[in-house]
Structure 1
């Protein structure tokens, strides 16, 4: 009788899991990967699993990560999106005469896949595409599920990248695509001089108004990256706090004080592209 039941069950046409779900590792596996050994100290403050869940990022998606820098979130997103997904590391346009840090973001199309290969080794993960705002392949238009901006909106504002980035995001996103923003949060009554980008902190209402101007509706807000211990009024800006420690030098006592506060208070917001 048991054999007959097994035979009957074997003949059922059960729905197959999506390919991405079959091969993409679970978030717990991604975060525990030894390749992230140097990254995990920041997990306490950056909450990668909870943040990406709030942004509704899932394996198999096409995701833009603006200014991936040294790859902290890249090392989460590339394996988590899985072989059916696409990770697009997007940097700003780099002027021909740029020097210093800005110059390191030149030719992202070539450099980012090389960096990702070094970060990930032979591990399976998403297809990696690199681009600058002025070199985005046209075939990506209308293919992106999420655009993610982690702690970079202040740089976008103070460097006059806002229009190009948000206009490009609208072009890249699918009709139901969304933008996830994590950003250092200024107090609601912070003076305008403190919230223009040079101090790192922005006001929530200003971010919402800016996104509305570019055709993005607020879907939701999360306190997952909140830190009420941050007064958000540092003379040296957000970089006073770890991991920057601006002004602390090698003063162990001062660093301990800043460690007790932790990383910045952050807003976490999700916006949907408006038709």
Structure 2
């Protein structure tokens, strides 16, 4: 039995009816709701990566709850969208935010353009229209009425792209505009070793030094609240010549070499930092 469901069951047995603290009962209900979302058939192909991404533990650490307004930075193929949109529920709002893209970025990157028009329809395909209200935006076209409405701003493995493509400033300024005064910002990011050379962590290899990410966030007015090792992987040396994409699911450089892929599978996906920040006045 998953730990989240077990915890909810134990809580229900341990606290007599009529005596449960409202916060504890609400937390148990949220855990149960999230477990149901994670088990839904729409996630049949996504579920294989749960062992590396730990969505239940990660969203709990980021203190995401049903009914909130949550910004998901660069939703891409919708892996976390298929969790967040139904989990936030009909009283919640999901904002998928993409950066403003330079005209030189084409091909793959075209999917990130015109988010306001594209995302609601994509989300309907991902979730069947179930769950939170869905809003899409790019950093240069965020409606002013959304400013100060977000409870959470989540960045899953995109700090390296923010740095190498010059999106960091506009994206973090937008995060401050969108978040409420007490809003929280969560980061999951491929983690380099603390002594990794500066040229290795500028973005093109995917990995970032944890101390650099914290410093960048602090410079933009976010104070560190807590760190977690939820998404850590000590087997990852984090120094691949071809970057984080050497590891599953990309297997860069492995081709169809079954033995090499097996070696990489034994390591798993990247070592990742998981950080929680609060918007500072």
CA distance in structure 2 between the aligned counterparts of 1:254 and 1:23, rounded to whole angstroms: 41
Change (3 A) 1:175 1:22: same
Q: Which runs of 5+ in 2 are unaligned?
A: 1-21
1:215-261 Cα deviation digits (max 9, x unpaired): 10000000000000000000000000001100011111111110010
8 Å CA contact 2:30–2:65 kept in 1: the answer is no
1:60-114 Cα deviation digits (max 9, x unpaired): 0000000000000000000000000000000111234541122221111111111
2:245 is equivalent to residue 243 of structure 1: no
Equivalent in the alignment of 2:67: 60
Question: Which secondary structure does the structure 1 equivalent of 2:252 belong to?
Answer: coil
Report the CA distance between 1:25 and its aligned residue.
6.9
CA distance in structure 1 between the aligned counterparts of 2:136 and 2:103, rounded to whole angstroms: 18
1:142-200 Cα deviation digits (max 9, x unpaired): 00001000000000011111110111111110000011000000000000011111100
Change (3 A) 1:191 1:272: same
2:59 is equivalent to residue 35 of structure 1: no
Equivalent in the alignment of 1:71: 78
Question: Which secondary structure does the structure 2 equivalent of 1:65 belong to?
Answer: strand
2:79 is equivalent to residue 85 of structure 1: no
Matches within 5 A, 1:146-161: 146-161=152-167
8 Å CA contact 2:72–2:97 kept in 1: the answer is yes
Deviant stretches of 4+, over 2 Å: 21-25, 94-98
Q: Which runs of 5+ in 1 are unaligned?
A: 1-14
TM-score, normalised to structure 1, is 0.90
1:22-56 Cα deviation digits (max 9, x unpaired): 99970110000000000000000000000000000
Equivalent in the alignment of 2:101: 94
CA distance in structure 1 between the aligned counterparts of 2:273 and 2:147, rounded to whole angstroms: 28
Of residues 113, 116, 126, the one that matches 1:109 is 116
Equivalent in the alignment of 2:236: 230
Matches within 5 A, 1:120-269: 120-122=127-129, 124-269=130-275
Change (3 A) 1:51 1:22: closer
CA distance in structure 1 between the aligned counterparts of 2:105 and 2:49, rounded to whole angstroms: 30
CA distance in structure 1 between the aligned counterparts of 2:40 and 2:106, rounded to whole angstroms: 35
Query: What is the root-mean-square deviation of aligned Cα atoms in Å?
Result: 1.9
Larger radius of gyration: 1
